[in-house]
Copies of this chain bind each other. A is one copy, B any other.
Amino acid sequence: MDHHIVPVELQKAYRLLNHGPTVLVSASHEGVENVMSAAWSCALDFAPPKVTLVLDKATATRPLVEKSGYFVLQVPNMAQLQLTYDVGHTSANDTPDKLAKAGVRLFRVEGYEVPLVAGSSAWLICKVLPEPRNEQVYDLFIGEVVAAYADDRVFQNGHWAFEKADPRWRSLHYIAGGNFYAIGEAVVADTNKT
C-alpha cells in the first residue's frame, strides 16, 4: 500500500464526506469487480460512522454490493476528473472492460475483500446495514464505515488540507453534463460569536 495512505480514526471519518464530494463506489463479488461514480452519497452518523448511498437498480455495481454486503466510497480528486466522469457514464453491463478503459487501478487493504481505487484522496470501507424497504423503494443503501483511510498529502491530522495541497488533490462536485466544480478556498466562521 502506498506509504501516503494512512488510517483515519473512525470518529473523524464523517469529515471525509462532510463537504459533499462526488464519490467513487467500488464493490466486488466472486471475482467480479466494479467501480461507478455517485453524487448522491452522504454522511448519516458520527459513531459508529454511517453513510447513505443511492444505487440505481440499473447499475452493475449494485448486485455486487447486495451479494457481498460491502462497498467502498472513495473521494476522487482533480487528477481523476476524467476517470470519475467515465465510470459514471459507462456501465459494465454494456462495456465489460469499462475499468481498464477508464484507467482504474484497484488495490486491497488487509482484512477486506472489497477493492479500493488507487489515486483517490480518501477511502471509506462500508458494511451494508440491510434496510430492504429503503433499497427497494428508494434505491437507498445505508452502510456502516468499518475502516477509513486518506492520503496524507491532502488530509492531515483529521482535517482536509485542500488549501495547502497541490490543486490536483481538490475534490470534485458534480452537477450534470460533464460539469463539475472543484472544492475551493477555506473560509472560517467566528466560533466565539454565539
Interface residues of A (CB under 8 A from B): 15, 18-22, 39-45, 50, 52, 54, 78, 81-82, 84-86, 89-90, 95, 101-102, 131, 133-134, 138-140, 142, 159-160, 162, 170, 172-191, 193-194
From B86, B140, B177, B188, A178 is in contact (CB under 8 Å) with: B188
**A and B contact pairs by CB, cutoff 8 A, 22 listed:** A15-B175, A18-B39, A19-B173, A19-B174, A19-B175, A19-B180, A20-B21, A20-B22, A40-B42, A41-B42, A44-B138, A52-B52, A84-B189, A85-B191, A90-B194, A131-B133, A134-B134, A159-B176, A162-B181, A178-B190, A181-B184, A182-B185
* Chain A interface SS verdict (over half): mixed
A162 to B44, CA, bound (A): 28
| Chain B residue, CB-CB nearest to A158 | B176
Work out how many copies of this chain go into the complex. Answer: 2
From B85, B86, B184, B190, A183 is in contact (CB under 8 Å) with: B184
Contacts of A40 in B (CB 8 A): 18, 42-44
A81 touches B187 (CB 8 A): yes
Contacts of A177 in B (CB 8 A): 191
B189 touches A85 (CB 8 A): yes
With contact pairs A85-B189, A133-B133, A173-B20 given, residues A182 and B184 touching in the complex (Cβ less than 8 Å): yes
A41 to B19, CA, bound (A): 11
A179 to B12, CA, bound (A): 14
